[in-house]
Amino acid sequence: MRSSAPPSFATRRRTVSPRACPAEKSGQAEFDFEYGDDFVEHIEQFHPTFCKVLVRYKPEGDQALNRRQAARLRRLSDYLHGKSRSRSCSKLFLCRREAHIQRLGGDKKAYDLELRPRLMVGAIRELQDGGVEPDVWKIEGLDRREDCEHIVAAAQPRRPGPRRLNHPRPGEDERRCGEW
- Domain ranges within the chain, ordered by starting residue: 7-169
Q: Which uninterrupted H or E stretch holds 92?
A: strand 87-94
Angle at 68 between CA 1 and CA 89, to 5 degrees: 60
**pTM of the shown model:** 0.77
What is the architecture, at CATH level 2, of domain 7-169? Alpha-Beta Barrel (3.20)
Alpha helices by DSSP H, the chain: 7-12, 39-46, 63-82, 98-103, 108-110, 116-129, 145-154, 176-179
Q: What is the pLDDT along the chain (180 residues), one digit of tens a residue?
A: 445 555 545 555 545 688 889 999 998 989 999 999 999 999 998 889 999 999 999 888 899 999 999 999 999 999 999 898 899 999 999 877 788 888 889 988 988 898 999 999 999 999 999 999 999 999 888 889 999 999 999 998 877 654 444 455 555 555 554 444
